[in-house]
């Protein structure tokens, strides 16, 4: 009887704790059972106590709104209190939207997809997640859309569970994290590497009218990064799918897809996807930079990006400014391009180089968007229709093109042979204009004109044929030192081909020195000797 009493007292203590957690009615019923000291009932109450302990209640708070107006890829939503800028919102049909315009009474959203199944009155939910994209090596060799989703029919991304995601809009590196641009990024294009050099971490604008070779320069630069430990992101903004297919074919033929990701927002897609594409590509390149690696990103082109943003802004009822663009169009591109940088060694030493492309109308570089981007970037490569029609490829106008990094982005060999190249070309162009008047010219002037014409010819090259830096050093030195003065203009390209073949066979060690950037009087003397032997043994025969 004493054992029964002791057991009963223990159950009574447990039941008191249980009673404190139940409602009034259940508490009364349990009190009656407890007073009856029914052992069987106490056992069942113990089991009930275990079930109650397993129950966990929590409040779930979700931001909900109602679509008031839908059309042209834009939705006006009321409610959604506490929604963030660039937050993803979910429509009933599963389509996502992006919150861009936050007002006291409504939220202006752009629809990331088709809006045919979204209607006024639909319930819209906030996700609490800022838009992000997958980044990292699994994207190399793939074609993705502005949301990072594969569109190349090669299946899902590899190791999907391990893919890292990154917000598409991040703050640019602060000044203290940056390092001076001093390491060259070779494009393989003689006219650029010698006169308008690019450095890792630089932002160089490619500008010119349509169909004169802007994309070709960017594609050649990507192809030349093979075996250079540079990861490339090529962003096609508002391009035709036929153009994208041609770029992909070129990359595939030259083995560039192994280190390249292509982000596509075609002309057929909604303006919201065109607006997001460069930011998505920037996040992918930024991931490599912060991992201590080197990346190159091409924005082809930001003219269409600005037009898409203007369309979205007008639909969101924002006030229009110059040329109907919203007032923050400058900030739109500056916060994008400022993210390109070279980080200091303390922060990994990575870099992200940007090549934005902009299209002009009839060579008008004083238009609104071109002047904005010229002021943001570290220089521009300007292509002209006149040079293109004259057969100068690439049609780079050396007089209007500039690199604000300059010789700091060249190795010692290239800097030594191209030190006066830009000045020589500028003087040649002035003399050429003067000679058109038909005035009698002295021999020195005629010789200078002849040499300038050969220098400009030697800087031309075929598309999709980037040239190693050592070969560039040799041919530019030969042209600048007068070794081509007696070569007919129509034979200059043949002279270059034979010279490089001769040096590869006879002086491979010399080319290796130039590849590493070495230059000194002894190497220069060896190069002069090799040029003399070439002209005696090969060319004059």
Q: Is the peptide bond before 394 cis (omega within 30 degrees of 0)?
A: yes
- Closest CA relative to residue 218, chosen from 268, 281, 172, 171: 281
Residues 7, 427: Cα–Cα separation, whole Å: 109
Q: Are 89 and 30 in contact (CB under 8 A)?
A: no
- Burial of 373 per CB tally in 10 Å (0-12, 13-18, 19+): buried
| Options 318, 335, 404, 419, the catalytic residue | 404
- Contacts of residue 109, defined as CB under 8 A and 6 or more positions apart, other chains included, come to 74, 75, 76, 77, 89, 97, 98, 99, 100, 101, 124
H or E, element range at 101? strand 96-102
Residues 203, 295: Cα–Cα separation, whole Å: 12
For residue 490, what is the DSSP state?
Answer: G
Q: Token pair of 54, please?
A: 């397993």
Q: Are 106 and 233 in contact (CB under 8 A)?
A: no
Beta bridge partners of 96: 90
Q: Please state, in angstroms and as integers, the Cα–Cα distance from residue 108 to each residue in 96, 300, 318, following that order.
A: 13, 28, 10
- Closest CA relative to residue 239, chosen from 281, 214, 269: 269
- Contacts of residue 101, defined as CB under 8 A and 6 or more positions apart, other chains included, come to 107, 108, 109, 316, 318
H or E, element range at 50? helix 39-54
Residues 363, 210: Cα–Cα separation, whole Å: 10
Strand 123-130, strand 64-71: pairing: antiparallel
- Tokens 């800097």 locate to 415
DSSP string over 149-170: -B-SSS-SPTTGGG-EEEESS-
Respond yes or no: is residue 404 known to be catalytic. Answer: yes
Residues labelled as active-site residues:
404
């Amino acid at each position: 009887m004493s054992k029964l009493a002791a057991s009963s007292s223990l159950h009574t203590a447990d039941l008191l704790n249980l009673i404190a957690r139940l409602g009034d009615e259940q508490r009364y019923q349990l009190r009656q059972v407890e007073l009856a000291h029914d052992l069987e009932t106490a056992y069942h109450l113990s089991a009930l106590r275990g079930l109650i302990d397993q129950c966990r209640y929590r409040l779930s708070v979700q931001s909900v709104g109602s679509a008031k107006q839908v059309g042209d890829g834009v939705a006006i939503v009321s409610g959604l209190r506490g929604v963030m800028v660039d937050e993803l919102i979910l429509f009933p049909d599963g389509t996502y939207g992006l919150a861009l315009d936050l007002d006291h009474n409504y939220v202006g959203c752009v629809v990331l997809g088709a809006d045919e199944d979204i209607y006024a009155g639909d319930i819209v939910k906030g996700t609490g997640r800022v838009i992000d994209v997958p980044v990292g090596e699994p994207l190399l060799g793939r074609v993705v859309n502005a949301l990072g989703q594969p569109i190349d029919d090669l299946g899902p991304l590899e190791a999907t569970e391990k893919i890292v995601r990154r917000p598409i809009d991040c703050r640019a590196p602060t000044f203290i994290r940056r390092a001076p641009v001093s390491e060259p990024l070779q494009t393989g294009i003689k006219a650029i590497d010698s006169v308008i050099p690019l450095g890792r971490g630089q932002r160089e604008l490619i500008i010119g009218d349509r169909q004169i070779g802007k994309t070709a320069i960017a594609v050649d630069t990507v192809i030349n990064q093979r075996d250079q430990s540079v990861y490339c992101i090529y962003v096609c903004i508002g391009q035709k799918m036929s153009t994208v297919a041609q770029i992909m074919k070129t990359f595939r033929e030259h083995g560039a897809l192994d280190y390249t990701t292509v982000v596509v927002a075609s002309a057929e897609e909604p303006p919201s996807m065109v607006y997001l594409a460069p930011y998505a590509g920037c996040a992918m390149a930024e991931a490599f930079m912060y991992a201590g690696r080197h990346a190159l990103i091409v924005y082809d082109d930001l003219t269409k990006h600005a037009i898409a943003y203007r369309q979205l802004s007008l639909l969101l009822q924002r006030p229009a400014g110059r040329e109907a663009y919203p007032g923050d169009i400058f900030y739109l591109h500056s916060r994008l391009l400022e993210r390109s940088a070279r980080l200091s060694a303390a922060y990994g030493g990575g870099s992200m180089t940007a090549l934005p492309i902009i299209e002009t109308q009839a060579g008008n570089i004083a238009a609104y968007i071109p002047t904005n981007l010229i002021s943001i970037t570290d220089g521009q490569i300007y292509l002209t229709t006149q040079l293109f029609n004259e057969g100068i490829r690439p049609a780079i106008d050396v007089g209007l093109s500039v690199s604000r990094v300059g010789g700091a982005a060249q190795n010692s060999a290239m800097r030594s042979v191209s030190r006066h190249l830009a000045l020589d070309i500028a003087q040649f162009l002035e003399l050429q204009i003067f000679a058109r008047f038909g005035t009698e010219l002295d021999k020195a002037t005629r010789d200078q004109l002849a040499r300038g014409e050969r220098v400009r010819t030697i800087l031309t090259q075929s598309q999709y044929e980037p040239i190693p830096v050592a070969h560039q050093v040799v041919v530019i030195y030969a042209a600048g030192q007068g070794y081509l003065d007696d070569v007919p203009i129509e034979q200059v390209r043949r002279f270059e081909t034979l010279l490089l073949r001769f040096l590869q066979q006879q002086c491979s060690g010399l080319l290796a020195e130039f590849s590493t950037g070495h230059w000194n009087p002894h190497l220069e003397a060896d190069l002069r000797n090799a040029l003399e032997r070439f002209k005696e043994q090969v060319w004059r025969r």
